[in-house]
């Protein structure tokens, strides 16, 4: 394996390991941008922009849109946009759900997104997210990451459910409560734990957005490290590809945009999701500050292009029949272009052709996928973004196994291929 492919794969693993929640992913993205000289802008204040300079904006501490102004104006060149999502399926803690059962202290959770629930059982779980902290000047937001095994969801022994291997339907309220301690006399366990981690008093901990997450870090696997096994590959892999490509690409005439949205796993219809005003607000402000025509934003949008990047399903060697034989992508064979006749993906014949040209220009292979005709496909940020903005778009992703498992698998070379394709797009 080439050294640069392995190196990029390791950088991806490191990024994911440092990003247990969307809040942490967005923070890591923002920190990287700031170190590269990008200036953070506040949506609530007037902006001043300079050609060739880079900027980024955050919403909810969980979404980031970064852009670098080109040497020409968007009304002449359009925008080059690549977008992905920062969130992954998780179990969200109900902070007021702390209770006692069988002399253990546990806390209720609710399912966020669509995880493969059984993969969460019997795992060492940490706790991470955002907390509101009361101070003399009012409440402030702080991120927390308890990166040690403080929680577990134990499964029921097969002796007590002899039919377990034939399938079991979990009741989220009853069966997905996380155990924090076997000390049944402990009080206020969760807030005390969080407060100690961030150096605050328990009584100062207010509302929280906390999740449990798998503590096992990402690794290479396969006899030649040709695969990557990790949690949250969907969709931090694409976030890392876009960020890496965005920073590596040479800036040209067009304004380039890298968008990282929260809440795709629950439909994106939130103030910080792709199905919100976030993208339109940023793009319209850029046009307003770089051009004077009343309808210049519409002209700029019509000349723009969006790459929506999200995970794709590779053919499973143990379930090969789950794919249409004509659309069965394999791991490490390049980015996958996604098609859907019901436009669950934004790809058209024209946008697919354009992305194929990008891959050819970047010197990387590409593949295609359309679900079996008797299996409905998922969706992503592409269709809603394309429809809301009137921007041509293509949906692509890297082939992976076990999507939405607590641990997913993707190809090491594919991460390199996708990054190079997007870098070529930004710098073309």
Residue 399 sits in the same domain as residue 250: yes
Residue 403 in domain: yes
Residue 282, Cβ density class (10 Å: 0-12 exposed, 13-18 middle, ≥19 buried):
buried
Q: Residue 163's domain is classified under what CATH number?
A: 2.30.250.10
Residue 378 sits in the same domain as residue 261: yes
Residue 78 sits in the same domain as residue 102: no
Residue 117 in domain: yes
Residue 220 in domain: no
Residues 6+ apart with CB under 8 A from 426: 80, 82, 245, 246, 249, 256
Residue 145's pLDDT is 98
Local mean pLDDT, 10-residue blocks, the chain (428 residues): 93 98 98 98 97 96 98 97 98 96 98 97 98 94 98 96 91 96 96 97 96 98 97 98 97 96 97 96 97 93 98 96 96 98 96 98 98 90 95 98 98 98 96
End-of-domain residue from the set 214, 246, 273: 214
Residue 83 sits in the same domain as residue 179: no
Residue 103 in domain: yes
Residue 383 sits in the same domain as residue 342: yes
Residue 175 in domain: yes
Residue 280 sits in the same domain as residue 341: yes
Residue 53 sits in the same domain as residue 31: yes
Q: CA-CA distance, 80 to 426, in Å (whole number)?
A: 6
Residue 225 in domain: no
Residue 30 in domain: yes
Residue 11 sits in the same domain as residue 107: no
Q: Residue 38's domain is classified under what CATH number?
A: 3.40.630.10
Q: CA-CA distance, 407 to 416, in Å (whole number)?
A: 20
Could you tell me whether strands 367-370 and 227-230 are parallel, antiparallel, or unpaired per DSSP bridges? unpaired
How many independent structural domains does the chain possess?
A: 2
Residue 112's pLDDT is 98
End-of-domain residue from the set 160, 182, 214: 214
Q: CA-CA distance, 153 to 310, in Å (whole number)?
A: 29
Could you tell me whether strands 63-68 and 255-261 are parallel, antiparallel, or unpaired per DSSP bridges? antiparallel
Residue 210 sits in the same domain as residue 251: no
End-of-domain residue from the set 214, 246, 261: 214
Residue 1's pLDDT is 65
Residue 378's pLDDT is 85
Residue 274 sits in the same domain as residue 331: yes
Residue 372 sits in the same domain as residue 244: yes
Residue 13 in domain: yes
Residue 414 sits in the same domain as residue 333: yes
Q: Which domain holds residue 169?
A: 90-214
């Amino acid at each position: 394996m080439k050294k640069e492919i392995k190196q990029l794969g390791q950088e991806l693993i490191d990024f994911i390991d440092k990003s247990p929640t969307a809040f942490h992913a967005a923070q890591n993205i923002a920190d990287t941008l700031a170190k590269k000289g990008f200036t953070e802008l506040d949506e609530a204040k007037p902006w001043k922009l300079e050609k060739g300079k880079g900027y980024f904006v955050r919403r909810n501490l969980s979404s980031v849109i970064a852009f670098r102004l080109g040497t020409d104006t968007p009304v002449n060149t359009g925008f080059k946009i690549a977008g992905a999502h920062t969130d992954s399926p998780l179990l969200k803690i109900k902070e007021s759900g702390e209770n006692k059962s069988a002399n253990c202290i546990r806390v209720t959770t609710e399912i966020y997104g669509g995880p493969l629930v059984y993969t969460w059982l019997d795992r060492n779980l940490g706790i991470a997210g955002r907390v509101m902290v009361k101070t003399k000047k009012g409440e402030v937001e702080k991120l927390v990451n308890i990166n040690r095994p403080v929680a577990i969801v134990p499964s029921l022994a097969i002796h007590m459910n002899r039919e377990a291997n034939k399938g079991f339907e979990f009741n989220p309220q009853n069966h997905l409560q996380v155990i924090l301690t076997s000390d049944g006399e402990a009080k206020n366990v969760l807030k005390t734990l969080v407060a100690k981690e961030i150096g605050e008093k328990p009584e100062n901990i207010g509302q929280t957005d906390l999740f449990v997450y798998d503590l096992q870090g990402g690794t290479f696997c396969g006899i030649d490290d040709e695969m990557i096994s990790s949690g949250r590959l969907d969709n931090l892999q694409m976030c890392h590809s876009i960020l890496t490509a965005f920073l590596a690409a040479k800036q040209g005439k067009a304004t380039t945009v890298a968008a990282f949205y929260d809440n795709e796993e629950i439909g994106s219809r939130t103030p910080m999701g792709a199905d919100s005003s976030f993208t339109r607000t940023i793009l319209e402000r850029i046009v307003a500050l770089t051009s004077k025509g009343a309808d210049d934003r519409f002209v700029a949008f019509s000349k723009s292009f969006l790459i929506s990047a999200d995970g794709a399903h590779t053919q499973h060697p143990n379930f090969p029949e789950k794919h249409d034989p004509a659309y069965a992508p394999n791991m490490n064979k390049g980015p996958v272009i996604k098609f859907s006749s019901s436009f669950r993906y934004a790809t058209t014949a024209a946008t697919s052709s354009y992305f194929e040209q990008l891959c050819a220009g970047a010197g990387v292979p590409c593949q295609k996928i359309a679900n079996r005709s008797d299996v409905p496909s998922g969706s992503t940020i592409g269709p809603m973004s394309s429809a809301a903005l009137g921007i041509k778009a293509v949906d692509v992703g890297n082939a992976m196994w076990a999507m939405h498992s607590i641990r997913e698998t993707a190809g090491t070379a594919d991460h390199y291929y996708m990054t190079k394709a997007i870098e070529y797009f930004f710098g073309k």
